[in-house]
């Protein structure tokens, strides 16, 4: 399990365009070090730093290592980012290269 | 495996009939596509494949459900006697429900279905599965964006399944113009099975067809199948040839006179017997005799009744002296009664099939056969009966069928043109004349024996069926009262003739007596006359003698010498 937790949890600073008080619990399910996985991790970190700085917790889970979590969390596509909190739960699939859609998925931007 | 003739390894499905059609089962280590419309039994077939694999063939399985949750599946198949929870607890089965909710998903770039692979691989490894079912993988197309990626990933998935060496069933909904909506048949090309569910004349029939089986021969027909309390049963009976052996053993019809007509010994065991006739000619009574005789020999009889309830049959046959109730109580006779329209032909056939396999009867009676006509069209009925007869013959079961002939149609006509399948055909007909209906009976054909060609009068008495000679004379064939009348007339005429002869004899006797009396009286007369005459002669002689004496005395007294006499010497 490779988990990266951002140390300053709970968030101290409000930012981004979503509801400023909400803190985010994100889990990113990747498959080893495939190009999609690597890209997804990099993209997600960038987006979080830009929009959710200080108010998010991110777990990166390698389903090769923990396949039972893939079953348990209903992961089909890889990579899959699950926004556990705030509700509603959302599944954002793909390498997260389309930042606009990631933000829509994270409820940080309205769907046009 | 035989190196000279390498055969494709196959994994038996354990589904009744399917393994016969496919020549042993599905291709081992390869994916098979099962497609069909909604509600045609895809999921069930796939589930039975897994359950049978886990319970009979020691091959644990993984069921990846895209449409139903594990709990729903377990409930749905519980009615078929599959206990999924127990199998799961025993580590013989894994049910993985794949939840996809389109509204929760946002696509943000390139992705693959590695999550699915991981889950499947994990499930397979956790129980050492040899079988996998994906039901219905096409749901992914509705739940995930980007069909291009999905297609590529599915292709990879099927390849991956092959590499894992698991025997897989992939189900797919039937699409317009193609076997599946997403054209899965392009990827899964080793074996394709199509299920179909047709409703015709309000009766539904399920059918199964193996469209393709790479590297193997297979039955190509559409085979009806049913889903009942034991799962799926496919009927591949038409694949059987005419290879049944013919028994020379004979079985009694239960009517001695009929046995006599059938070359003295009755029907052949394992033959098909048809009794046809118009309404009320005694077909069921013949069947009852046959059944009672078989039970009397200790054989088991299975009676399929399609017009009367068992108790009605027992009561009605009791009225003609055939008591079936003891045999039912003994377990030698079993009735199965159902309306022909209660189900499609195939369900009937399967029900009968299963009942026969379970009861293992020596004799099967179907009364009446042609009630199926109302449950299907002629071609289907014939196909079904052919399969049934084949099955009975293969099992050396004697089949006894009755058939109602519609009034006015030719006696030799059978609705489903089944006559060619029948070995012995008995015809009952009603003869209406002189204000009454009488039954006549004859044997239309009986293969392999020198049977009687005579028509008999068929009587239903309180002691059962009785066959009588009909009156054949100058007046034609007479039955019933006409026959009795004719017989009475004949008897009267004979009596009259006998009387006449007796009379003549008596007269002769009388005349003889008279004549003899006359002769006696004449004799008497003659005797009297004779006596008179003799007396007269005597008297006359006595008189003569006296006269002579007198004359001599006279002469002596006169002392006259008589010239005629020597006077000196007297």
Give me the helix-helix angle, B283-296 and B310-318, nearest 10°: 90
In angstroms, the CA B177 to CA B195 distance is: 15
Residues of B in contact with A40 (CB under 8 A): 109
Q: Which of B140, B143, B163 is nearest to B151 (CA)?
A: B140
Size of interface A-B (CB pairs under 8 A): 105
In angstroms, the CA B105 to CA B143 distance is: 8
HSE of B251, CA atoms in CB hemisphere, 13 A: 27
Please check whether residue B394 is in contact with residue B244, taking contact to mean a CB–CB distance below 8 angstroms: yes
| 3-state class (DSSP) for residue B211 | strand
At A103, which helix (H) or strand (E)?
helix A99-105
Length of chain B: 570
| 3-state class (DSSP) for residue B61 | strand
In angstroms, the CA B35 to CA B37 distance is: 7
Burial level of B555, CB count in 10 A (0-12/13-18/19+)?
A: middle
Please give the pLDDT value at position B508.
Answer: 94
Q: Could B109 and A88 be called an inter-chain contact, meaning their C-beta atoms sit closer than 8 Å?
A: no
**Percent helix, strand, coil in chain B (nearest 5)?**
40, 25, 35
Give the sign of the dihedral formed by CA B5, CA B8, CA B13, CA B19: negative
What is the distance of C-alpha B137 from the center of its chain?
Answer: 47
A90 Cα to chain B: minimum distance (Å): 5
A89 Cα to chain B: minimum distance (Å): 7
Cβ partners under 8 Å of residue B429, min gap 6:
B277, B278, B281, B411, B439, B440, B441
Please give the pLDDT value at position A11.
Answer: 44
What is the distance of C-alpha A75 from the center of its chain?
Answer: 14
| 3-state class (DSSP) for residue B403 | strand
User: pLDDT grade, residue A36 (50/70/90)?
Assistant: confident
Burial level of B241, CB count in 10 A (0-12/13-18/19+)?
A: exposed
Top-confidence residue, B174 or A110? B174
Give the sign of the dihedral formed by CA A90, CA A94, CA A95, CA A98: negative
Please give the pLDDT value at position B374.
Answer: 59
A59-94: per-residue pLDDT in tens? Answer: 888 888 888 888 888 888 888 888 888 888 888 888
At B401, which helix (H) or strand (E)?
strand B398-404
Burial level of B354, CB count in 10 A (0-12/13-18/19+)?
A: middle
Domain A24-105: give its CATH superfamily.
Glutaredoxin (3.40.30.10)
For the complex shown, is ipTM > 0.85?
no
Q: Could A80 and B115 be called an inter-chain contact, meaning their C-beta atoms sit closer than 8 Å?
A: yes
Please check whether residue B415 is in contact with residue B222, taking contact to mean a CB–CB distance below 8 angstroms: no
Residues of A in contact with B122 (CB under 8 A): 67-68, 70-71
For chain A, give the longest Cα–Cα distance. 38
* Ranges of residues in chain B whose predicted pLDDT is under 70: 1-6, 200-203, 236-244, 340-344, 346, 372-380, 406-418, 473-477, 560-570
A16 Cα to chain B: minimum distance (Å): 19
B64 Cα to chain A: minimum distance (Å): 11
B170-200: per-residue pLDDT in tens? Answer: 888 887 777 777 777 777 778 888 888 877 6
Q: Which of A23, A27, A85 is nearest to A54 (CA)?
A: A23
B344-383: per-residue pLDDT in tens? Answer: 676 777 778 888 888 889 999 988 877 766 555 666 677 7
> How, if at all, do strands B456-461 and B464-469 pair?
antiparallel
Please give the pLDDT value at position B516.
Answer: 94
Residues of B in contact with A105 (CB under 8 A): 106, 108
Please give the pLDDT value at position B367.
Answer: 83
Q: Which of B219, B231, B205 is nearest to B80 (CA)?
A: B231
Residue to test with chain A: of B96, B97, B107, B108, most A Cβ within 10 A: B108
Cβ partners under 8 Å of residue B514, min gap 6:
none
Please give the pLDDT value at position B3.
Answer: 44
Partner residue facing A98 (CB), from B98, B105, B108: B108
Top-confidence residue, A11 or B170? B170
DSSP per-residue codes, B416-467: T--GGG-SEEEEEEEEEETTEEEEEEEEEEETTS------EEEEEETTEEEE
Q: Could B115 and A91 be called an inter-chain contact, meaning their C-beta atoms sit closer than 8 Å?
A: no
Q: Chain B, 108-137: which have a CB under 8 Å from a chain A CB?
A: 108-116, 118-119, 121-123
Partner residue facing A67 (CB), from B106, B113, B122: B122
Strand partners, B114: none
């Amino acid at each position: 399990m490779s988990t990266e937790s951002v140390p300053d949890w709970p968030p101290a600073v409000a930012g981004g365009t979503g509801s400023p008080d909400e803190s985010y619990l994100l889990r990113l399910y990747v498959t080893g070090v495939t190009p999609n996985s690597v890209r997804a991790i990099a993209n997600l970190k960038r987006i979080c730093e830009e929009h959710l700085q200080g108010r998010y917790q991110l777990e990166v889970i390698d389903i090769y290592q923990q396949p039972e979590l893939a079953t348990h969390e209903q992961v089909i596509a890889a990579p899959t980012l699950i926004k556990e909190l705030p509700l509603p739960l959302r599944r954002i699939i793909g390498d997260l290269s389309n930042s606009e859609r990631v933000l829509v998925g994270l409820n940080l931007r309205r769907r046009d | 495996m035989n190196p000279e003739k390498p055969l494709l390894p196959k994994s038996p499905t354990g589904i009744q009939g399917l393994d016969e059609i496919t020549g042993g089962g599905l291709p081992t280590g390869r994916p098979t596509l099962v497609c069909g419309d909604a509600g045609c039994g895809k999921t069930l077939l796939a589930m039975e494949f897994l359950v049978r694999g886990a319970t009979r063939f020691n091959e644990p399985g993984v069921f990846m459900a895209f449409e139903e949750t594990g709990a729903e599946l377990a409930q749905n198949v519980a009615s078929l006697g599959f206990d999924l929870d127990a199998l799961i607890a025993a580590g013989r089965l894994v049910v993985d429900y794949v939840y996809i909710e389109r509204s929760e998903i946002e696509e943000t770039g390139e992705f693959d279905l590695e999550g699915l692979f991981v889950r499947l691989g994990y499930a397979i490894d956790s129980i050492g599965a040899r079988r996998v079912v994906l039901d219905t993988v096409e749901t992914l197309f509705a739940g995930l964006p980007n069909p291009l990626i999905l297609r590529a990933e599915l292709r990879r998935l099927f390849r991956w399944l092959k590499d894992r060496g698991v025997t897989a069933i992939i189900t797919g909904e039937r699409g317009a113009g193609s076997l599946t909506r997403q054209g899965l048949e392009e990827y899964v090309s080793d074996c394709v099975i199509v299920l179909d569910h047709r409703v015709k004349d309000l009766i539904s029939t399920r059918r199964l067809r193996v469209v393709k089986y790479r590297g193997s021969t297979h039955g190509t027909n559409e085979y009806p199948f049913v889903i009942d309390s034991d799962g799926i049963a496919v009927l591949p009976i038409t694949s059987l040839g005419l290879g049944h052996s013919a028994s020379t053993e004979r079985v009694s019809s239960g009517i001695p006179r009929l046995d006599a007509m059938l070359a003295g010994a009755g029907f052949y065991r394992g033959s098909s017997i048809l009794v046809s006739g118009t309404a009320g000619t005694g077909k069921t009574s013949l069947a009852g005799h046959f059944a009672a005789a078989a039970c009397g020999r200790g054989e088991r009889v299975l009676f399929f009744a399609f017009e009367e309830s068992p108790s009605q049959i027992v009561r009605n046959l009791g009225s003609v002296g055939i008591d079936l109730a003891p045999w039912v109580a003994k377990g030698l006779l079993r009735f199965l009664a159902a309306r022909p329209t209660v189900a499609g032909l195939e369900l009937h056939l399967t029900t009968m099939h299963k009942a026969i396999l379970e009861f293992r009867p020596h004799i099967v009676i179907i009364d009446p056969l042609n009630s199926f006509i109302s449950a299907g069209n002629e071609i289907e009925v014939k196909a079904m009966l052919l399969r049934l007869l084949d099955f009975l013959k293969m099992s050396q079961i004697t089949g006894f069928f009755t058939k109602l002939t519609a009034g006015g149609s030719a006696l030799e006509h059978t609705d489903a043109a089944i006559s060619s399948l029948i070995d012995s055909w008995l015809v009952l007909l009603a003869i209406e004349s002189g204000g009454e209906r009488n039954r006549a009976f004859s044997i239309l054909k009986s293969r392999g024996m020198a049977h009687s060609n005579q028509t008999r009068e068929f009587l239903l008495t309180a002691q059962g069926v009785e066959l009588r000679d009909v009156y054949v004379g100058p007046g034609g064939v007479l039955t019933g009262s006409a026959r009795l009348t004719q017989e009475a007339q004949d008897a009267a005429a004979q009596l009259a003739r006998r009387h006449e002869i007796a009379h003549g004899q008596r007269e002769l006797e009388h005349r003889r007596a008279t004549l003899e009396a006359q002769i006696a009286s004449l004799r008497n007369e003659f005797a009297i006359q004779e006596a008179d005459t003799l007396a007269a002669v005597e008297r006359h002689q006595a008189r003569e003698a006296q006269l002579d004496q007198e004359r001599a005395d006279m002469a002596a007294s006169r002392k006259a010498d008589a010239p005629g006499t020597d006077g000196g010497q007297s």
